[in-house]
Structure 1
């Protein structure tokens, strides 16, 4: 099991390092300016904290909180933050539906929302803990809105991973929505709307990622 979590960290790390600070965050409306000035950030389902520590390292005036319900991942995330001597990041064991705090300027889900049993509930909690002018960033595997459009090399890879890991994980949790790794923008927009968000758009993309922005 440890190898699964370590493998997940190693799989996502290169993409986050290449894109998160240089292209994904700048694609969001006004978020970089807030991060430079000093923002409160929550990284939900942070795993080993690769995304969390990247934001903390790049924006030292901001405070970044990483939450994950897997205690072993939080232990590893704290180790990574200590290795980098980051003083503006902290980690806690908490689920997407009950993580603490409010008034967050940015709430992030990096390849985690579709794994959750209750993504609507998770986003509803984000809606409740977000500042009035705050932003939610969803990074999800790239997917079109129909099965036929996703029958390409990238889509086939993600369907395979989703069948083995993502969908069973969701189905094993309360609500068991089972979005899967190829939910697509339209389905994710429906989830965000059900959670109470009035604004939802595709901020940017890569061949492997959809970067989606939601706000009140």
Structure 2
């Protein structure tokens, strides 16, 4: 119960406005679980392009229970993910929502993000304890759905931007890869970025490194399925110890800020590059000042950083804990401290900043 002093200073209109926002967040948080259910059961895919459906018709198509399906449909309609026609009691998945929820190769495909959210809810006790102890929580300690969700969420963004704008923004890199270059993809996870590059540049040789053995095993299997295993070598290795020399390109996708010793990683990258090689660093979009990141995108990134990025860094040596919203100035300091003499913003999207570092 609020103290009398606190009650006297509360503005009822501001309280009501905040409670309205909180109710929106409650609905969003609860609905996240339903997106995962719909993704796993193929409900969105069954609705995509099918026109208006009754709950019974969808249940038949998806081989699910009608009553559960009807409640799921109503929740999705209330959330604006579907539309409902009361006259016919049918539900429709609009093409825009289908593009984001049912088409795996869409640049807007989002169910992977909800897998991440589900994993983080299961991981909450570990993060809460880390607040108390100041210890870290390593990437490998997360719920397994974190790894699959991360790959599914990031892959469409890489497919949409990597070959079309990010690599062309680097100094002479595309020409080298077309001719036949050497590429190290560090922190490669399930290997989607490595595989995309290998498919685009068949004359080049690719090396994917990650400290997480289960992710490397997944990446090897994925490369076999995509028919590029002969041109990719996946190995378990850390960012400060990955092997090889004379790389024309070293790529770090959304991982430098997660590292305990990003300066040490920078120094190691420098030692592995060819004389005219480039280091591509893809990071979450962030401004330098906290106040400039207090927006919907910053909200997502700060929240993810609290649960994933900061604990990951704290679990490693040094534990610099840059966080996902470090900003360009801080990233420049880290890279230059590793011995690089050139650093620039090469490209950007609403969600990413792409930097190029050269010796």
TM-score interval (norm. to shorter): over 0.9
In the alignment, structure 2 segments of 5+ residues that lack a partner are: 1-142
1:114-129 correspondence to structure 2 within 5 Å: 114-129=257-272
1:81-92 correspondence to structure 2 within 5 Å: 81-86=223-228, 87-92=230-235
Q: Distance in 2 between matches of 1:99 and 1:41?
A: 12
Q: Which residue of 1 aligns with 2:187?
A: 45
In the alignment, structure 1 segments of 5+ residues that lack a partner are: none
Structure 2 residue 319 is the aligned partner of structure 1 residue 176: yes
Deviation at 1:90, TM superposition (A): 1.2
1:77-112 Cα shifts (integer Å, max 9, x gaps)? 001100011021110000001111000000000001
Deviation at 1:10, TM superposition (A): 1.0
Report which of the two structures shows the higher radius of gyration computed on alpha carbons.
Answer: 2
Structure 2 residue 237 is the aligned partner of structure 1 residue 94: yes
Q: Which residue of 1 aligns with 2:150?
A: 8
Taking structure 1 as the reference length, the TM-score comes to: 0.99
Q: Distance in 1 between matches of 2:308 and 2:250?
A: 24
Higher strand share: 1
By relative contact order (CA 8 Å, sep 6+), the higher-ranking structure is 1
Deviation at 1:134, TM superposition (A): 0.4
Q: Distance in 2 between matches of 1:123 and 1:108?
A: 11
Q: Distance in 2 between matches of 1:7 and 1:48?
A: 10
Query: Please, which moves more after superposition, 6-15 or 202-211?
Result: 6-15
Q: 2:201 aligns with which of 46, 51, 59?
A: 59
1:58-207 correspondence to structure 2 within 5 Å: 58-86=200-228, 87-207=230-350
SS in structure 1 opposite 2:356?
strand
Deviation at 1:138, TM superposition (A): 0.2
Q: Distance in 2 between matches of 1:185 and 1:51?
A: 23
Q: Which residue of 2 aligns with 1:17?
A: 159
Q: Distance in 1 between matches of 2:171 and 2:342?
A: 12
Q: Distance in 2 between matches of 1:73 and 1:124?
A: 25
Q: Which residue of 1 aligns with 2:37?
A: none
1:100-130 Cα shifts (integer Å, max 9, x gaps)? 1000000000001111101111111000011
Q: Root-mean-square deviation (CA), in Å?
A: 0.5
Aligned residues: 216
1:52-89 Cα shifts (integer Å, max 9, x gaps)? 00111100000010000000000000011000110211
Q: Distance in 1 between matches of 2:210 and 2:221?
A: 15
Higher helix share: 2
List 4+ stretches of structure 1 deviating above 6 A: none
Taking structure 2 as the reference length, the TM-score comes to: 0.60
Q: Distance in 1 between matches of 2:305 and 2:149?
A: 15
